Amino acid sequence: MIDPVSRRAFLGMTGAAVGAAVLPPVKQGSLGGPAIHLRGVARPTAISSANSLAPVTQALELVQAGVDTLDAAVEGVKIQELDPEDTSVGYGGLPNEHGVVQLDASCVHGPSRRAGAVGALEGIKTPSEVAKLVLKYTDHIMLVGEGAKQFALSYGFKEEDLMTQASREDWLRWRANRGPKDDWLDVPDDENMVRPTGTINLNVVNAAGDLSSVTTTSGLAWKIPGRVGDSPIIGAGQYTDNDIGGAGSTGRGESNIMVCGAFLTVEHMRRGMAPTDACLETLRRVMQMTPPRLLHPDGTPRFDLSFYAVNKAGEFGAGSLYDRTRWGPRRYAVHDGREASFQDAAYLYERAV
Ligand code: GLY
């Protein structure tokens, strides 16, 4: 549910911020390109990962109805967090190696310059909402583990089993096949034994140029218990500077943490890069920071990582290391105020087929 108190408070701050400050110029186009000067007018836009057509639609409809950007972003990603079919976030997200679902999420509210995050949260279906409550009601930024759960329970969240029949079967299949010398009998060779990652990052800007970002995930499937990825790290999993734009990431979190990728992407936009160029420049930095064990002999990465960005004007873009996933072209979801669509992400490498 949208929190009317937070909505009032955030809208109040939004109005004050816009009224009190003359917004700085935002340059558009690639680095060195022409700059246009905005006075708080943006094209409302929501951009997210490819599993998020419904979330960008929800977020955009809400900001167009006047709902605060953070409330709208969280309401958007909650659709996927509550969807048992999405094995990358929330309820039905794939568990750690012990069969326990541990969720990470974070958010930044641009107008108030506040952030909230939870890491390794168990038993709560919607970690994005809990991250928003950390932002709103505490002087802290991140709560983890049992403390994060107790915090959520104190606000009336219900503790629930986050495993579905399907995610339990995936985990049991992984456990059976994890090694040739373990005591578990292997399941048939032809069964899928991939190690999925998945996450949602959603960034939204409203017509006043106010921004928020949120990222939520169940993290790397079969991770070591307690592992926290990039998603709850402010500046890695997502980041917003209300003067510039918002950005966030999906994919191999450890590689993103090493470059503070969401923050870096926003900084590239601050220097005048268009969102797509900013995402690609961050990915180049990721490659500079990648150790040899994570590279193929030809220097291409053994992992994938994507960034999504929107600037204060509502320009958007995304970049990935690879042009395609195992299922097809690497895409992202966007709602540009007129319609929701999938777009192809820019990329650094073509995946050998
Ligand atoms: N990017 C999600 C994770 O690595 O946990």
The 10s digit of each residue's pLDDT in 120-171 is 999 999 999 999 999 999 999 999 999 999 999 999 999 999 999 999 999 9
261 lines ligand 1 (CB under 6 A): no
Question: For atom 4 of ligand 1, which residue has the closest CA?
Answer: 253
Ligand 1 mutation pick, 199, 200, 223, max ligand atoms within 8 A of CB: 199
Q: What is the mean pLDDT of residues 324-332?
A: 92
- Is 276 assigned a catalytic role? no
pLDDT attached to residue 197? 58
Angle separating helix axes 69-81 and 4-20, nearest 10 degrees = 140
Query: What is the amino acid identity at position 110?
Result: G
What is the per-residue DSSP string for 243-274? TTEEEEEEE-HHHHHTTTHHHHHHHHHHTT--
Spatial separation of the C-alpha atoms in residues 65 and 254, rounded to whole Å:
37
- Closest Cα to residue 182, out of 170, 191, 174? 174
And the tokens for 217?
Answer: 């995930």
pLDDT band at 352 (very low <50, low <70, confident <90, very high): confident
pLDDT band at 326 (very low <50, low <70, confident <90, very high): confident
Q: SS3 for 124-190, per residue?
A: CCCHHHHHHHHHHHCCCCEEEHHHHHHHHHHCCCCCCCCCCHHHHHHHHHHHHHCCCCCCCCCCCCC
The whole model's pTM is what?
0.86
Question: Between 327 and 226, whose confidence is greater?
Answer: 226
Which domains occur in the chain, in start order? 39-349 (3.60.20.30)
Angle separating helix axes 275-288 and 261-270, nearest 10 degrees = 130
- Give residue-wise pLDDT tens across range 68-93: 999 999 999 999 999 999 999 999 99
Percent pLDDT > 90 in the chain is: 78
Q: Is the pLDDT of residue 180 over 80?
A: no
Neighbours of 291 (CB within 10 A): 8
Neighbours of 350 (CB within 10 A): 10
**Pair type for strands 142-144 and 114-121:** parallel
Question: For atom 5 of ligand 1, which residue has the closest CA?
Answer: 219
45 lines ligand 1 (CB under 6 A): no
The mean of the pLDDT values for the chain is: 87
